Structures are given as C-alpha cells and as structure tokens.
Chain A
Amino acid sequence: MALQTIPVPRVVRREGVVVAQHIREGRFQRSLAIIAALSSLLGGLDVTYEHYRGSYSQRVMYSPIVITPLLALVGVWAAFNRRVARTLLPLASIALLVDGVVGFVFHLRGIARKPGGWRLPLFNLIMGPPIFAPLLLSIGGFLGIIAALLRREDDPAEDRPTPSPLLLDRKGIVHRALVGTAAPSWLPRGIAREGIILDRDVREGRFQKLLAGAMGVSAILNGAEVWYSHYKNRFSFRVQWTPIILTPFLIVAGFGALFSKRIARTLLPITSLLAIINGTVGFFFHARGIARRPGNPRQIVYNVAYGPPIFAPLLFAATGFMGLLAALLRRTSK
C-alpha cells in the first residue's frame, strides 16, 4: 500500500495506517462530519460575499447563508454526538444539497434575465450569477450525507454489518421489525434493494466509485468556474492556467476510477493531491492579489469582496480532497 512505502516517522505512519484502515472500513464518520462542516463553512463564506456583490436582491439569496453555518455547526456537533450524526446531520446536509440545486436553477434564470440573456452566454455567465457555484456548495451537503451513513471511528472493527441509520427510530435504537428487511415499504422494490446495498456499502467503506464519480462531477463544475473566472481576468498570470490544466486529469481520474481499480489507486490519488496543493497555492495567490489591490489596508473589506475570490481555490482543493478520500476507500462488493 502506497502509504506504507512513504518514508515518514513511525508514529505518523502508524496513525496514517489507522486512518487508512478506518476509511477502508467506512469508520470515519467523525472526521468526515468535520470535513463536511468545514467545506460547508468555506462555501458559506464564499457565497456570503458573492451574494453581497449581488446585494441579496432576492430573499432566497439568504438561504445558503443560513444553511451553511447550520451544517457547519451540526457537522462539528455530529463529531461528538452519535445521535446528531444520524439525525440532524443528514437533514442539514440534504437541505444544503437541495439549496444548491435550487440556487443552480435561480442562477440559470438570473443569466436568462440579463440583457441579451443566454444569447450572450459567456459574458452573462461571467458577469451574472456564477452558474455552477451553487452546485459546488452542494458538495458540503453531499459529504455530510455520506458522513451520516458511515460508521464511527470507535465502532467495532468487525466486518459484521451495522444497522443502517434509516432503520433507527428516534432514540437511535434499531427498529426490530425492520432489521434485515428493507427500506421504507413505499419505495419500489428495485430502488429499495439498490438503496440497501448502497447504504451497506457506504457503511462498510465500499463506495470508492461513488465518491470518485462525485469528484469527477465536482472537477467539471469547479474547472468551469475557474476557467471563466480566470478568463475574466484574461489569464494575466501564467499560474492561472494550472487549475485549468489539472482539471482534465482530475476528470479522467474521477470517472476512470469507476471502471478501473488501477486508476483509482494511482492516477486518482496523484491528481487529487496535486489539486489540493494547487488549491492551497491558489489561495496564497488570491490573498496576494487582494493585498495588491489599491487602497489597502483601509479598503481591505472591499478588496476581499471584489478582489480574487479568496476561498474559491480552497473549494478546488476540496475537490482534490474528495478524490484522495475516494482513493483510500474500497470498491463495491458486487
């Protein structure tokens, strides 16, 4: 395994092995809940000033501002509280996921209502509402939902399937009548069966394909956002091309991992790691861009809001993080 060959201090390596083991077995609910919280927080900060630039001219623009801190709070809480992880966390996560989709529709509409509408797609996409940004925000929700389905780090390591949270009642006790049977009875049988399998796979850490695919989608959205944001700035710095160059590799790695275990174990972690590094470097460059704007330090608040979007590169890094996580997971049992 790749991790074991890297020359690192023994303590770190031992911890690393434990973490990897946890992930492989789907026992990382607490960490993922924290990560979902962080991702949600970042996205929330980003959308706060982006929507400020749009003057919160529609009431619905406040919705991500309300939901993201909520998910952040619930995510952290879930790291300490098993029941919150099984109840509030999925609720808040679904809320953010849905909000992102709703936002996407509103952004589509917003572009259509600009002068020239979709007949000037590039300009209105760049100067209008950022079309994919709401879907990127949804990633936090997606991670939160997965976290809700996972086992916790301190759960027993045995391979015996643990009960699905869908089968728990309000007190967190398994509903006896439902054990081993099915999901809610109103679901069509086929979907219910798939759902149960998926649910179990996630709990057991066997959802590499799911996460890699999600990473692929996220890379497409993120790459598009980066491309038109940097295009707006005319790619004035050569380094602005780096995320654009990286994006196709991320997409290939993400979707390739659906078909090839090899890609999942090689290209996926490498490109993902590069994306994380790239996002971090981007964060630095964006911070520098803000620092170089006129009027600092007095105009720092204005310059954060209107300079290069400070948190956007970290969202790119979050995509890489998803890929890295996927690389460590197991594939489906089928």
Chain B
Amino acid sequence: MQTPLLGEFQAPSDAKHWYSPLMRLDIPMQRYAHGDAVDYVIVGIGSAGGVLLQRLAKAGFRVVGIEAGPFWDTERDWVSDEAGSHKLYWNDLRITGGKDPITLGANNSGRGVGGGSVHWAGFTPRFHPSDFRVFSQDGMGADWPITYEDLKPYYELMENEIPVAGPAYYPWGDPHGYSYGAHPLGGVGDVLVEGCNKLGIRVVAGGPIAITSGSHGKRPHCIYRGFCIQGCKVGAKQSTLVSHVPDALRHGAEIRDNSMVARINLGKDGRVTGVTYFDAEGHEHEQKAKNVIVCGYAIETPRLLLNSACPGFEQGLANSSGTVGKYLMVQIGNVVIGRFDSLVRMYKAPPAHALTEEFYETDPRNDFVRGFAIQTVGPLPIAFAKQMMVAKGAWGWGLRRVMMDYNHYAALGVLGEILPWEDNRVALAEDKDQFGLPVAKITFSMKENDKKIAAAGVKKTKEILHAAGATEVDEEARYAHLIGGARMGNDPRTSVVDSFGRTHDIPNLFLCDGSIFPTQGSANPGLTIQAVAARTADFLVSEREFASQHHPRTTSAVPRIRYDLSPGDTAGHGMPRLKSRTPRTEVGIGGLAPDSDY
C-alpha cells in the first residue's frame, strides 16, 4: 500500500496555531502594552521559562514571556527530518575555545518556545541526594544551598506534569517509581540491558523519559519513530510548548516570539525596571516590568547579564561577586558505538529509553570522585556519520562502508559529571551578532578528575557492549548538556543568586534555568531545571502573600507547595506510584551516599 487511506497527508487546513496533532491555540493571546509594567517579564521560554510562565500566569500574575526564537506551530514548522530540523537550535554565533572547546548549537542549545525541551532526548532521571553535597562529601566542586529533600516534592510534581514514563521501581539515588508505565525497548535498549545483565550491572528499561507511554489528555502516546531530538511532532515527548505553554496562554500570559532581549534595564533605586528587546523586524522596544526573570540557559543568561553592564554594575548586572559566567559545566557525553553481526536498526524507538546509574556515585575504589551514567542513544544517519568520522576516523570509501552497516550498530552514551571550575566560563567576545550585541565566548578545559571519569565511563561502556556481543567497539569524545555560569549559593561573594534564583545584588531580578546549578551530577538536567523552576514559582507566589501581610522579605522560608498550580490536564492520568521515604539530611558515610547501601 503506497498511500494512506484517503490519500496523502495534508497540512492543517485552518489558520489556527497547532501545538501537536490534537492541540491548537483556541483563544487569542493576551497583549500587554510596552509601558504597562507587568508583574513579570520572563526572558526565554524554554524548559524553565515555560514552567514559570504557566505557574505565574495561573497564580494570577500579569506575565510576558520574551523568546528569541519562534513560537512553533508544530504541524507546519517541524519536520520529521534530520537536516531539516536545524532551526530548532541556537544557531547564532558564539565563540568556543579553551583546551577542550565545547560544541554548541545542535549539541546542546535550543531556540524557540519550548527551548531545549524541544530537542532534548527526554531522559529525566532525578539528581541524587549526593549531588547537592558534592563539596561536603568529596572535597571538590560545590554544595547546593538546598538539599535533595527541598527539591523532591517538585520532582514528584513535575514527573506528573511532564509526565515521566519509567519503571515502577527506580533503584538509584532516592529510589522511587513513575506513574506512567515504561516504554517498550528498541534495539539499542536490548543491547544495554543484555550487556549490563551479563556483567551483573543493574539497568532500567523503558525510562525514565519525558515521553508519554499512554495518551495524556490531548497528547497521544509515543509512536516510536526515533525523531525525538528533531522535535516531537506527535506531542508525545514533553516540551514546555505542549505541557505548560497552552495552560499559560489560557491564563492570560503573553509570549512575544522572535524577540531578542538586548539588555535588562536598571532603575535609580537599584531595582530593574524592565528589558529592552529587538522584535522580529529588528525594532527596539522596552517592556516595563516589576520583576524580571532570566531563563536563557548557561550561555545566554550570563551573556545577557554581562551585556547589561551599567553604572554601578560595570562588570555585568548582578555581578558584584564576579562569578557571572564562571563555573560553566558541560557533561561528559562520549558516545561508544558497537557493531553487531545481527541487525539493530537503532533509528527506531526513542533514542533515550534505557540507562544505568550504577556508577553514578563516588566510589572509594576509584582514583576520582563522582561518576557517570550509561544511556542509550540512537543517532540518525547524519549524526551517526559524524560520529564515525571521529570515532573511526572514517572518510571516503571507509565512511561509505561503515554507513552501509548503519543498521548493525548500537550506540550507547556515557553521561559523566564534570565538576565546576572557575576558569571554565562564559565571557563576551569581540564579535557582534545581527543586533550588534557582543556574542558569548566560551572557554573550556577538562581537568584531571573530569578526564578520569570520561575514561572510566568509556571503559565500562565498552565492556557492556562487548558483553552484549559487539564485534567491534569505537568511541567518540563528546560533551553534552550545559550547566552553570551564574550559580546559586548562600554567600553573595561566591554566587550570583540565592536558592530561589533571586540575584544577591538586585531584589527584583531572578535567574532560573540550568545556569544557576552549582553542580550537575551525571543526570540529564532537564527534569531538575523544570523542578527548580516550579520551586521558584512557588516562592514568588508565596512572596506575594508575605508582601500582602507586610511581612519582611525572606529567602529562607520554605514556600508552600502549590499543587493547584499544575496545568489543568495533569490530574486524572497515570497510576499510583511508589514514593520513597527519604531520611532527611542524612549524610553518607565514607564518601558513600545514604542510598548506596543497597
């Protein structure tokens, strides 16, 4: 059969804006005037910005989201094609250097409403309790000003809102279960499970990933097409575009897309007054706001602060500590590729669908601290060919030959922790972008501990592939997710924001995204970014209550958890799940986290 019933598929015939095949924007969007000082301007509607926009709008605030990229109409804008999805990434110029320059763009930087959550593979493991106390436990890196327990309710909340599909029992970190069932395994998952099992390594299959395994309201379940990081046209993989933005607009939020914020404006009273941005036509506008939240991620957030330098903040806005742009991290993302005699066809099923975190924690037997996770990845042909160029040094006839064997390969990804180092940083370059704004310059070098983790991760992954029956194994060095650049902390001299994202220097300027994380663990950061955003939102809502009671501002108060701020279609789906009881503030012994006594 060469055609579907009733002929080829057509584009939607109406002029409505589509979020996914069954979801469309059905009410006109709220519009605020530039001079109208809204309660919040959110710069960047990505993973964190989308969640904040929705929560603050639902809580009754007047919110404007300003996004540099487009407000995607998924039916018309997104394609089920690797090369055609270039526009999903942050493709504006950045300069990358240092001893180990990291690559950006398609590798780790999103653009457009939904941001990075549009092109993430969707792995959503939580951080481990130990991730929040790295310095205390291991003498390196940094501690978070919050603990796992502070974030745990938000993990649970976001896992239901996303929703996260995963095993009924997830054994690592703080063990827990998921309310959406696991996904079926694809060829690469089979390899990881088989290899781990042969070596006695625990592994989980079918999650945790931010992809629906059953329909979720108007979002259908996954069709296992493998184009997760090209934007999920199905609407099965969560991006805040499908999970939070529709609810935000329903509650009166406005999104200004294709609008690049140039600077944050500071008033005479030391408070920010709004932002100046360029709209799609290149016209400059100023949006007044009572508060500004920057959610631009690890490169653009520091860049905007540095570009907003002004009298009183010559080194960059909110940068009295001098730490803006510093302690930038990426995760070790080496890809290890095994060839099998039998066919694998790794383009089927979501690239992310099985993982092991068995080597996540510091192990005293290692000559390094912290660790790594091993995950499935399913590169499509272009990505795979590029990996083969590096992994095998393939070109010419050799490249043609390995590519003809594309379906025989299975690729696993190491996800390893790189610790925060002061000299890994974002600064401003001399080059300017199309708006005349200085672009970011990233300097990055691997340190001894980082290199050891990478080597150990690759070694273990190779063992797993061999155990699963791979006949040859190759490795590509790579860096994955960005983290840090404007870290949170209790000490204003060494950090930029407090644990709720409020800048130490300016009371009505907030940062909320991956840039405020002091460390990153070996877990994909997407879920934690959204959980932190939900926590910040609760804080902002509770602050309004304090303010109405003439209560002095406090950042130590633990805000009430607002379950009522979840998007309207969250309830009524999924199943009861295993919730662990975490012993509070229990510190691990001998470098081992309390959860490692299994």
Please give the residue numbers on chain A whose beta carbons come within 8 Å of chain B beta carbons, in ascending order: 52-59, 61, 110, 113-116, 118-121, 123, 127, 294-296, 298-299, 301-302, 305-306
Contact = CB atoms under 8 A, between A and B. Distances in A.
A295 to B, nearest CB: 4
Interface stretch (B63-71, B531-539, B570-578): B570-578
A113 B220 contact: yes
Contacts of A119: 4-6, 9
A25 B125 CA distance: 62
Contacts of A55: 163, 165, 179-181, 212-214, 221, 573-575
B22 interface: yes
Nearest to B234: A115
B214 A57 contact: yes
Contacts of B22: 113
Contact of A298 (B190, B202, B206): B202
A116 B181 CA distance: 23
Given A53-B213, A56-B574, A302 B167 contact: yes
A309 to B, nearest CB: 12
Given A56-B575, A298-B197, A299-B205, A113 B215 contact: yes
B203 interface: yes
A110 B22 CA distance: 12
A119 to B, nearest CB: 4
Nearest to A302: B205
A119 B7 CA distance: 9
Contact of B9 (A113, A116, A127, A296): A116
A294 B192 CA distance: 9
B215 A57 contact: yes
B43 interface: no
B5 A295 contact: no
Contacts of A118: 5
Given A55-B213, A56-B574, A127-B224, A302 B206 contact: yes
A298 B182 CA distance: 15
B456 interface: no
A121 B146 CA distance: 51
Interface string B1-26: 00011100100000000000110000
A114 B206 contact: no
Given A55-B180, A114-B220, A306 B206 contact: yes
Interface of B: 4-6, 9, 21-22, 163, 165, 167-168, 179-182, 184-185, 190-191, 193-194, 196-197, 202-203, 205-206, 212-216, 220-221, 223-224, 233-234, 572-575
Contact of B572 (A59, A123, A299): A59
A55 B165 CA distance: 8
Given A55-B214, A57-B573, A115 B196 contact: no
Contacts of B224: 127
A115 B223 contact: yes
A299 B180 CA distance: 18
Nearest to B182: A302
Contact of B196 (A53, A295, A305): A295
Given A294-B193, A298-B203, A302-B182, 17 more contacts: A54-B214, A55-B181, A57-B214, A57-B216, A57-B221, A110-B215, A114-B220, A114-B223, A115-B21, A115-B223, A115-B234, A119-B6, A120-B4, A121-B5, A299-B203, A299-B205, A306-B182
Nearest to A121: B5
A55 B572 CA distance: 11
A72 B181 CA distance: 26
A316 to B, nearest CB: 22
Contacts of B21: 115
B63 to A, nearest CB: 30
B223 A295 contact: no
Interface centre among B202, B213, B221 (most CB of A within 10 A): B221
Contacts of B196: 295
A56 B214 contact: yes
B213 A54 contact: yes
Contacts of A305: 181-182
B194 A295 contact: yes
Contacts of A113: 22, 215, 220
A56 B5 CA distance: 30
A296 B197 contact: yes
Contacts of A301: 168
Contacts of B168: 301
A53 B181 contact: yes
Given A58-B215, A294-B197, A115 B220 contact: yes
A116 B22 CA distance: 11
Nearest to B572: A59
Contacts of A127: 223-224
B202 A57 contact: no
18 contacts: A53-B184, A54-B181, A55-B163, A55-B165, A55-B214, A56-B574, A57-B214, A58-B214, A113-B22, A114-B221, A114-B223, A119-B4, A119-B9, A295-B193, A295-B203, A296-B197, A298-B203, A306-B206
Contacts of A302: 167, 182, 205-206
A108 to B, nearest CB: 14
Contacts of B212: 55, 57
B190 A294 contact: yes
A206 B584 CA distance: 69
